Amino acid sequence: MGKSKKHEISKESIATLCKEVNAFDKEFGIKLKKINPYGEPEMVFQNFVDSFQTFLYSVLCEINGITADKYLTRKKRIREFNNAEFTELSILEWDSDDTYDINSYHFRCRFLTVFLTEYIEKIGNIALKKYDYLSIFKSGKYENGYFYMKKIADDTRRFIKVILSGNSYGNIMLKMNQNCSYIRTKKVDPKELNKYIREIRHELKIGLKETIFTEKEMPDDIAINSILQLAYLISTGDTSLDALPNFRYIEGATTKYELRGLTEALGSAIIENRKYNKRPIMYLAYNKARPTIMSRYKDINEDWFISAGVRSLEYTKFFCNDKYITRFINKML
């Protein structure tokens, strides 16, 4: 879909923004060496969180083509980023009903905007929750939280740079999804959730790989089953896979068959889960960024179950960022 030049995001703009992130890395690193997290741990932790949030606010502005210095001097907070003023100033066409190719700069900037808007105010809590889950010794909450926060800041800066550059982002996407899972619910163990996601993604990357000399090792029915499981895990953050079709209903299926029933079952499970749990913020950001959805099903806009299933499978393509997984899911759709 063609865009007018004033709405396009050039490679030069992306390169400039990446340089600014790199510059922040250097400046922030120097500041960190001068402080003692064991002196006044809570204050040091909160100062770090505040400084990094300020940086992310400026990234949000730059992504949207807004001069950060002028906009942020009015002390805008994150809850105000969806207001009419910000939408009007942005070059990302938030008032448009258009959809966008997930491989385009435009979509990636929209995705980052929505994700960061939800993420910024949660990063301090993510660090403390991560400490609660991972620390053996339940003492020194802010001292240890500070070091978890440093790692989260590193992950976030890398995530921004990789997404904007268009380089392979599957691994850092997995890491950021893992970080965000620590604040969602007490019902699901984040370590267990991310272990499942990592293992299934790894098996698919290896099993679906094809070359001109070799065929994929993974049979279609196992691949279909694994992709349905992965799509459900990353779209709900729930490790209970009982709502999905049992493998005996999938065994023997190939991408040459009509897979509507399985896609509907996936969508139904996701919609049912929504009644009890909040969606992962990365999944929500993807959908709010308005990706272009391609499907053989003409009633995708009328059938809620098909729509939710197809969107989840499309999100799985975006999340994994692997050409072999993408190729296989395209055959399913």
At residue 31, the pLDDT reads 47
CA distance 264 to 261: 5
Q: How far is CA 302 from CA 99, 131, 291, 307, in A?
A: 18, 44, 18, 8
9 pLDDT more than 90: no
CA distance 114 to 289: 7
For 170-202, the pLDDT digits (tens) are 899 999 999 999 886 667 888 889 999 999 999
Q: How far is CA 260 from CA 46, 226, 297, 300, in A?
A: 50, 16, 8, 11
CB 93 within 8 Å of CB 99: no
**Residue whose tokens read 């050409």:** 323
Extract the tokens encoding 194: 């991310």
| Total Cβ atoms within 10 A of residue 54 | 13
Alpha helix positions (H), 208-322: 220-236, 260-274, 281-288, 304-320
Cα of 211 vs its chain's centroid, Å: 29
For 113-134, the pLDDT digits (tens) are 999 988 998 999 999 988 887 7
Taking all residues of the chain, what is their mean pLDDT, rounded to a whole number?
84
At residue 85, the pLDDT reads 78
**Residue whose tokens read 């950021």:** 176
pTM of the entire predicted model: 0.85
**Residue whose tokens read 């493998």:** 247
**Residue whose tokens read 């959809």:** 99
Mean pLDDT of 244-266: 88
